[in-house]
Each structure stands twice: as C-alpha cells, then as structure tokens.
Amino acid sequence: MSPQFRSAGSRDDEAARSAAPSVLIAGSLDADFASLLRILSDTNWSLCWCSTRAEAMTRLNCQAMSVVICDRAVREGGWKDLLDRLRSLARPPALIVAGRTADERFWADVLN
C-alpha cells in the first residue's frame, strides 16, 4: 500500500502549512493510531501514514518531517532499523516508539 498523506488545517494558507509541524506515522493503523489522527485532525499539523518501514523511508527521503511515530512492530524490519535509517538523514526527526506493551526486553532495547 502506498503512503497516504493528509494535510490538516486550512488548505488555503500555504505558508502556515509549510511552517506547521509534520508527523509521519509508521506502522499498522490500529485504534491507537486512528485516535491519534482524530486528536490531531483539528490542528494545522501535516500528517502522513505509512504501513511499512520502506514506505516511511521513501517518504522521509522526499519530505522532511518533525516527528516520526513508529509502531513497535512496524513491518519490514523494526523500529531499531528505522532509527538507524533516521540517523543517516541530514536533519533526523524525533522518533517516538509506540506499542501496547512495554516489557523488559523492549526497555532494554530502547535504553541500549
């Protein structure tokens, strides 16, 4: 599935949109991510959703993002692979890893 892009807020104000924060969501579009989209729908933030790490990297190579929110179990690699790729960008965005569970192994991975 190709990346889906939606610009929230006023479509008439190009300057405001270009200055608005941009968020890329990488992972399955489950109820948590759908809730996040609803929460941010009333902002001027630009939102982009990609279902795989490869789609996310393609989007990031074409468009700078302020934040990447990554599902812990993003397809085609994991969040650590995405983090490694983000580090190679000239202006890497902040990365937030989201998941329904945070067990000891996950925290050990994050902290290392």
For residues 37 and 30, is the Cβ–Cβ distance under 8 A? Answer: no
Predicted local distance difference test score (pLDDT) of residue 45: 85
Q: How many CA atoms lie within 13 A of 69 on its CB side?
A: 16
Domains of the chain from N-terminus onward: 4-111 (3.40.50.2300)
DSSP 8-state code for residue 12: S
Predicted local distance difference test score (pLDDT) of residue 5: 42
Helix, strand, or coil (residue 95): strand
For residue range 57-104, list pLDDT tens digits in order: 888 888 888 999 887 777 666 777 888 888 888 888 998 887 777 778
For residue range 9-18, list pLDDT tens digits in order: 444 444 444 5
For residue range 19-66, list pLDDT tens digits in order: 678 888 887 766 777 787 788 888 888 888 888 878 888 888 888 889
pTM value is 0.71
